[in-house]
Amino acid sequence: MLGVLAAVAGAAAGAVAARAAYAAFRRRPPIGDEKTWTRTNHRGEPITLLEGPAFVAGAGAAAALTPGLSPRLRSAALLAGLGGGILGAYDDVLGNASSKGFKGHLSALARGEVTSGAVKILGIGATGLAAAVIARDPAATRPHGGAAAGVLDTLVNGAVIAGSANLANLFDLRPGRAIKVALLAGTPLLATSLAASAASSGASRDGSPGTAVLAAIPLGAAAALLPEDLGERAMLGDAGANALGALLGLAATVRLGRTGRLVLLGTVAALTAASEKISFTKVIAANPVLNRIDMLGRRPVPPPPVVVSPTP
pLDDT at 199: 73
Residue 304, domain member (yes or no): no
* pLDDT class of 136 with cuts at 50, 70, 90: confident
Residue 309, domain member (yes or no): no
Angle between helices 51-65 and 210-230 (to 10 degrees): 160
pLDDT at 97: 60
Q: For the chain, how many structural domains are there in total?
A: 1
pLDDT at 168 exceeding the cut of 60: yes
pLDDT at 246: 97
Instruction: Yes or no: say if 67 and 13 are a contact pair by the CB < 8 Å rule.
Output: no
Give per-residue pLDDT as tens, 81-92.
999 999 999 989
For 50, residues 6+ apart whose C-beta sits below 8 A from its C-beta are 22, 25, 26, 29, 37, 234
pLDDT at 202: 46
Q: Which residue has the higher pLDDT, 194 or 158?
A: 158
pLDDT at 118: 76
* pLDDT class of 18 with cuts at 50, 70, 90: very high
Instruction: Yes or no: say if 234 and 22 are a contact pair by the CB < 8 Å rule.
Output: yes
pLDDT at 276: 87
Which domain does 63 fall in, by range?
2-295
171 burial class (0-12, 13-18, 19+ CB within 10 angstroms)? Answer: buried
Residue 131, domain member (yes or no): yes
Residue % of the chain over a pLDDT of 70:
84
Mean pLDDT over 117-124 rounds to 85
Mean pLDDT over 282-301 rounds to 92
> Is the four-CA dihedral 124, 126, 130, 133 of positive or negative sign?
positive
What own/partner pairs with CB < 8 Å and gap ≥ 24 does 184-193 have?
184/293, 185/248, 186/215, 186/218, 186/219, 186/248, 186/251, 187/219, 189/215, 189/248, 189/251, 189/252, 189/255, 190/7, 190/215, 190/216, 190/219, 192/255, 193/3, 193/7, 193/251, 193/255
Mean pLDDT over 130-159 rounds to 80
Give per-residue pLDDT as tens, 183-213.
999 999 999 988 887 776 544 445 456 889 9
Write the DSSP string, 235-287: --HHHHHHHHHHHHHHHHHHHS-HHHHHHHHHHHHHHHHHHTTS-HHHHHHHS
Residue 306, domain member (yes or no): no
pLDDT at 50 exceeding the cut of 50: yes
pLDDT at 203: 46
What's the mean pLDDT when you consider all of the chain? 87
